Amino acid sequence: MRWSKALIPTLKEVPAEAEIISHKLMLKAGLIRKVASGLYNFLPIGFKVYHKIEKIIREEMDRAGALEILMPIMTPAELWIETGRWNLYGKELVRVKDRANREYALGPTHEEVVTDLARTEIRSYRDMPKNFYQIRNKFRDEIRPRFGVMRCREFIMKDAYSFDRNEECAEESYKIMFEAYKKIFTRCGLDFRPVEADTGNIGGSFSHEFMVLANTGEEVIINCPACGYAANREKAEGVSAFCGNDKEESKPLEKVSTPGQHTVEQVTSFLKKTSSELVKTLLYMADGKPVAALVKGDDELNEHKLKNFLKAAELVMMTEQEVEAATKAPVGFAGPVNLSGMKIFADNAVMKMKNFVIGANEKDMHYVNANFERDFKINKFIDLRTAGEGDTCVKCGQILSSLKGIEVGHTFKLGLKYSKAMKAEFLDEDGKRKPMVMGCYGIGVTRIIGAAIEQGNDENGIIWPMALTPYQVIITALNYKEEKVKEIADSVYEEFMAAGIEVILDDRDGSAGFKFKDAELIGIPLRITVGNKAVNEGVFEVKVRKSKEEFTLKREELLSKIKALIEKELTK
Ligand code: ATP
Ligand code: MG
């Protein structure tokens, strides 16, 4: 490609709304342009990077035995109604009507459509295992689209779905995908980590997320440096440092006045206690039914854990009015004593606490010296708190730490969730009809572009891994109008093109500084300068974008040495 013929509209300034570096650089380097909130045009070099990722994914999926198909984006409501997700998905689902008023969803994911396909095409145990995948646009009306391609309303996903005759075979399919994902992200040149994850809207029995490690990541990973345990904070378990002492003698329950003290900090400092001596009572509506959850004052309730435990489709905090109706007191004074009409669950970490502070379900009143059993009963102790840095690892007892990550892939073991709901059955060897055991596997293809930039950048711009770069080499011709320069630059360019190297020739007018700046900004790994030295001495200056290393090569060794450098980077 000749830069003079390309569309690479680099910018000096970027719109203020771009918060994170990858978003800024994608706009600045001319990879994307915003059409509307969460909707982007991919410009030529952005799309080139996309294609490289897509190619790696396709190669590894095919190698793993998955079959590429194409499903429609417009998916009929009837299929979503079969699984109950027409309602469950809520506002994130983009719904459209056709001219006959029939309803459709623009696919945010394709479990329903693919299960419909499987139930007609897979008949016998002999037809399995099968893994179908596609790479195409997905639609999610995200509440807050942000960070450029990271959280869009329309984005490109690779989604795959496996069908097996039993649990054991399904686990094997899951493992094959897990390994394929590791290969994909390694080949993309990303520093990543698979972690245990919550199953969220998709459901199923267990799942892993593939996280690209980056400080700007939205996801918090709790990990154990000692044993390697790693999980998304939504799912992570940890043991709290202070869990009380059940050997302590029970003191009499006492109601105390706490005028105007609502928050944990206010109440505990007023009573001259610490926040770990208080038990918070949090009130929720789970699918319309009230429920109370107790956690230690200095802990955070993990709503994912409560929602999963209750198997609730919807879990929302009670409104002020609902709290008042349930406790007969304003918000801030809820407590488990005499709390009727709902189940009460408490976090494991409060199990051994004695003589703690709780709300008294009365305006401006709390209890001190509350104790389990004597003062109130718990339906069950479960893991409810959000794990954090400094907790001890449930697997090995060492101290946990935390990392930030960007989720680029997600694998789920679905089990029978969709096949049962949609009656996707097959005839097994024993002559019985059984539901297929499913798995599903997503990769955010467009999100990977942002994640790669979050990992590869400096003050001058993007630093692409060789596998994803839009061009492997840039030939920066200084004074291209000069006959000699043009001749040499063109000859190198032609030679590289013929050798299959992905090369861009900067043949524009402009100063050396201006061209070097743009080359750095768009992140091309190797730069060859054709200037006076090349004309007078036959010597070419080469600069490596990542290491900033500079060296010279002679004309005759240029192709072989550059080729070797590219190969080395690609096979790392
Ligand atoms: P998140 O928690 O980030 O919303 P998710 O759990 O909803 O992700 P999945 O349903 O597992 O995502 O989708 C598979 C992959 O698609 C994700 O791992 C992510 O890389 C990508 N993805 C999901 N939502 C978006 C989005 N709004 N924009 C871009 N990529 C997305
Ligand atoms: Mg999501």
> Distance, CA 306 to ligand 2 centroid (Å)?
19
> Distance, CA 143 to ligand 2 centroid (Å)?
10
What whole-number distance in Å separates Cα of residue 167 and Cα of residue 429? 15
> Distance, CA 318 to ligand 2 centroid (Å)?
24
What whole-number distance in Å separates Cα of residue 267 and Cα of residue 332? 10
Cβ atoms 152, 40 nearer than 8 A:
yes
CATH of domain 254-382: 3.90.960.10
Is the beta carbon of 142 within 6 A of some atom in ligand 1? yes
Q: Of the CATH numbers 3.80.10.10, 3.10.620.30, 3.40.50.261, 3.30.930.10, which one belongs to the domain with range 37-190+411-454? A: 3.30.930.10
Domain range annotation of the chain: 37-190+411-454, 254-382, 469-570
Is the beta carbon of 157 within 6 A of some atom in ligand 1? yes
Rg for the chain, CA atoms, rounded: 29
Is the beta carbon of 409 within 6 A of some atom in ligand 1? yes
What whole-number distance in Å separates Cα of residue 11 and Cα of residue 4? 16
Is the beta carbon of 407 within 6 A of some atom in ligand 1? yes
Give kind and range of the element (H or E) at residue 322: helix 320-327
* Neighbour count for residue 238 (Cβ, 10 Å): 24
Cβ atoms 396, 227 nearer than 8 A:
yes
DSSP for 370-407 reads: E-BTTTB--SEEE--BPP-TTSBPTTT-PBPEEEEEEE
What whole-number distance in Å separates Cα of residue 267 and Cα of residue 529? 68
The residue type of 430 is D
Query: Which of helix, strand or coil describes residue 123?
Result: coil
Burial class (CB in 10 A: 0-12, 13-18, 19+), 108: buried
Is the beta carbon of 200 within 6 A of some atom in ligand 1? yes
Q: Of the CATH numbers 3.40.50.150, 3.40.50.720, 3.40.50.800, 3.40.190.10, which one belongs to the domain with range 469-570? A: 3.40.50.800
pLDDT in 10s for each residue of the chain, 572 residues? 999 999 999 999 888 889 899 999 999 999 999 999 999 999 999 999 999 999 999 999 999 999 999 999 999 999 999 999 999 888 999 999 999 999 999 999 999 999 999 999 999 999 999 999 999 999 999 999 999 999 999 999 999 999 999 999 999 999 999 999 999 999 999 999 999 988 766 566 679 999 999 988 989 999 999 998 989 998 899 888 767 777 889 999 999 999 999 899 999 999 999 999 999 999 999 999 999 999 999 999 999 999 989 988 889 999 999 999 999 999 999 999 999 999 999 999 999 899 999 999 999 999 999 999 999 999 999 999 999 888 999 888 999 999 999 999 999 999 999 999 999 999 999 999 999 999 999 999 999 999 999 999 999 999 999 999 999 999 999 999 999 999 999 999 999 999 999 999 999 999 999 999 999 999 999 999 999 999 999 999 999 999 999 999 999 999 999 999 999 999 87
Q: What is the pTM of this model?
A: 0.89
